[in-house]
Homo-oligomer: A and B are copies of this chain.
Amino acid sequence: MLAQHLHVVYDHIEKHDWPSVREAIVNLPEPEIAELLFEIEPAQRMIVFRLLPRELAGEVFAQMEKEQQNELLQELTQEETRRLLEELTPDDRTSLLEELPGQATQRLLNLLSPEDLKQARQLLGYPPESVGRLMTPDYVALRPEWTIQQALDHIRAKGHDSETIDTVYVTDNRWKLLDAISLRRIILADSSKTVADVMDYQYVCLEAHQDREEAVRFMERYDLSSVPIVDRDGILLGIVTFDDVMDVAVEEVTEDFHKAAAVAPLKENYRGASVFSLYRKRIGWLLALVFTNVFSGAAIASFEEIIAANVALVFFLPLLIDSSGNAGSQSATLAVRALATGEIKLSDWLYLVGKEIFTALLLGLTMALAVSLVGLARGGAIIGLIVSLTMICTVMFGSIIGLMLPFLLSRLKFDPATASAPLITTLADISGVLIYFSIATLALGAE
């Protein structure tokens, strides 16, 4: 159905039949309109955008990527920009203002009404990545002494400007938060009762300066679609709604994926990021790992004689150190993710290491068996034995390092996600080289 609708709109655009475009486009969901605008020619884009009713234009704008918003803003007149800003919800406005370059932000601030300006300044005053930055002050607040009928009248009067009325908030006359109750509770209650009668004083809230990741955790844990935000004295400042929090959750997960591959968190869109910006996010860890890897080189140098006498040993070197790194990456990732979701706690480390010893032993034995055949065929019985024995030791060592590193990092107040696959691989290499050539020296020296 959606595809048909879209098809019709494209058709009208092609024919420059603007009245029909307008009629057809207002029935599309906002994300679809936003996407469509950036799939047509820039010249037509502005025509179509200007066809949108004011309120819809604001909603569509809020669905765009930052780069797209910026592009569009540059085409709008000052008056159009002013009207667009007016239509944005306070949280969407903060998110726009905080992403723009300083000068552009100032230009937009100048266009705001005194009231909106005050609000924007206040919201931008919270630390970046805090829940305060996601907050909207548009909510419905009730007083406990009101009757349900009064409450419903108030909701009807204020609800149009509120971002959600699925949950309403009860405060005292100093705006101290007393409870959060669902609209459903109000609707289902007898209209002669008071708000206090349906209150259960069961609510959770966050403080404005807390990290926005807390909001993600809260909504997941308590199945909430909005969270009230208070100051240190418990005064209700605003609410954070689940649509913004879902966006944050996606961003945070992307950050964790990047960390897992030793990429510094990329704040921009990957597609839009410049070559230089990508370079900067990647080079730090790569260089650090180059220097760490010099230790594998040094380890090899100290075994130069045995290598020179048995060049066949080199054949198995990538295989052995890789296997150790691969097994280590597996256990590190399992631990990092389980720590991130709260499935395991720091105090579980000993139990998990115990289990890992057995798992890694089984893995090492299986892999040793596989490699022993290659070793036998390629280098004879002694080499086969050296390689198998090394495989067991390196897989176990890599796995245990991989598992313990996230816990250790977390204990030292670093992000456990720093235990990336490339870091584990490099550490596994150093230990792998040492183990391999030590075993080889013992076995071949005793020959």
- A residues touching B (Cβ–Cβ < 8 Å)? 2, 27, 29, 31, 152, 155-156, 159-160, 164-166, 182-184, 187-188, 201-202, 204, 219-223, 225, 242-243, 246-247, 249-250, 253-254, 256-258, 260-263, 266, 269-271, 275-276, 278-279, 282-283, 285-287, 289-291, 293-294, 296-298, 300-301, 304, 307-308, 311-312, 314-319, 321-323, 325-327, 329-330, 332-338, 341, 343-344, 348, 351-352, 355, 358-359, 362-363, 366-367, 370-371, 374, 378, 395, 421-422, 425-426, 429, 433
* CB–CB A318/B296 < 8 A: yes
A68 and B212 CA atoms in complex are apart in Å by 30
A276 and B304 CA atoms in complex are apart in Å by 40
Closest approach, in angstroms, between the C-beta of A415 and any C-beta of chain B?
Answer: 15
* CB–CB A262/B330 < 8 A: yes
Closest approach, in angstroms, between the C-beta of A282 and any C-beta of chain B?
Answer: 5
* CB–CB A204/B275 < 8 A: no
Closest approach, in angstroms, between the C-beta of A401 and any C-beta of chain B?
Answer: 14
Which chain B residues lie closer than 8 Å to A367 at the CB level? 283, 286-287, 290
Given contacts A225-B242, A271-B344, whether A330 and B261 have CB atoms under 8 Å apart is yes
* CB–CB A2/B204 < 8 A: yes
* CB–CB A334/B258 < 8 A: yes
Copies of the protein in its oligomer: 2
* CB–CB B329/A371 < 8 A: no
Q: Which of B166, B337, B359 contacts A282 (CB 8 A)?
A: B359
Closest to A366 in B: B283
Closest approach, in angstroms, between the C-beta of A77 and any C-beta of chain B?
Answer: 29
* CB–CB A287/B370 < 8 A: yes
Closest approach, in angstroms, between the C-beta of A33 and any C-beta of chain B?
Answer: 11
A325 and B425 CA atoms in complex are apart in Å by 9
* CB–CB A341/B421 < 8 A: no
Closest to A316 in B: B297
